[in-house]
Structure 1
Amino acid sequence: MFQQNISVDLRNDGKIDEIKRLKKEKDDIIKEKDDIIKEKDDIIKEKDDIIKEKDDIIKEKDDIIKKKDGEIQNLTDIIKEKDNEIQNYIIKYLFNLENENIQEVTNLENENIQEVTNLENENIQEVTNFEIIEWCFYLGFDLKDNSIINFKVWCISKGFKNIVDFISYYKIYYSCRNAFDYLNLSTNVNDY
């Protein structure tokens, strides 16, 4: 009997070892499971960190885009201002150019008027005392006494300002008449 007890004990010893082994396997599996759960939690945390980092990057990029949109709008406004400045400058330039042209035309007109006046004055100055005397004789005024004064009065009575105006007029009249005679044209100079 004694042997039988030993064999039972041995059998029980084997079961206990088997139970211990199974329990150890179970503990190893639980540890492995816990490690996997911890690893999973770490991955989830890492994923959450990546998502947060991604969200931060997206927010940062959105802020940069918003800032760039503001810069673009500012530059667009500056471009509009510059366009207005250019248009105003062109208008001012054209206005000044037009004023310069008007001034130039006015100056040319004034120069022409001055030139005509100078020519008239030269023609008047070209009337010499000799011509006055010659016309006095031609028209029958005697140079004795006050015949020059009488000649002047006669010129004024005919619508001329003075003797010189009368002689200048007839100088032109006879110049035209001589030109018409030279060209064999009708000599009715009074029509002109």
Structure 2
Amino acid sequence: MFLIYNYLPGGNLESFIRGRSAATVQWKILHKIAFHIARALAYLHDQCAPRILHRDVKPSNILLDDEFNAYLSDFGLARLLGTSETHATTGVAGTFGYVAPEYAMTCRVSEKADVYSYGVVLLELMSDKKALENGFNIVSWASLLLRHGRAKEVFTAGLWESSPHDDLVEMLHLAITCTDDTLSTRPTMKSVVQRLRQIRPS
């Protein structure tokens, strides 16, 4: 058996985030990547039958082509959700820093766990910071800055100066909502797609 994949010359999102310079940070590209990831997850959650949980959404599992179209990859940890709202597991799968807190505590995973992971990826995409590093937690850090009216400090160099502030803050609010500890507060991926459409660059 042979598996044939399209060649995606843009590498993965992790390399894109770590390697970009201030000159390459553009609001249109950031939004495009965020939108494509959200649309892929919404498809898995709402249009597949049975529904699919990815369970390992992170920058290294998101591939880019030469036009910055984003593709979700590596379904090795994915699970079928079926008709129930949650899926019980015998252990926690995924990557530390992207795993939703309720999944880590109870081993019960739902679509909202993918939403949490997406929110972390969105924060990384906006800030160029890693999810976890030497005691740093990107979710706690971004939430603190937003609460104290210091949203500007979240964004990577050059992005705030060259992009519409209202749209950036709206995307930051979206990321923080996706990573809320309370499942009922987190939006569905379908809702995330709708919100991103509302702030689409002109």
Bin of the TM-score, shorter chain as denominator length: under 0.3
Higher relative contact order (CA 8 A, sep 6+): 2
Bigger helix fraction: 1
Structure of higher CA gyration radius: 1
**TM-score normalised over the length of structure 1:** 0.20
Bigger strand fraction: 2
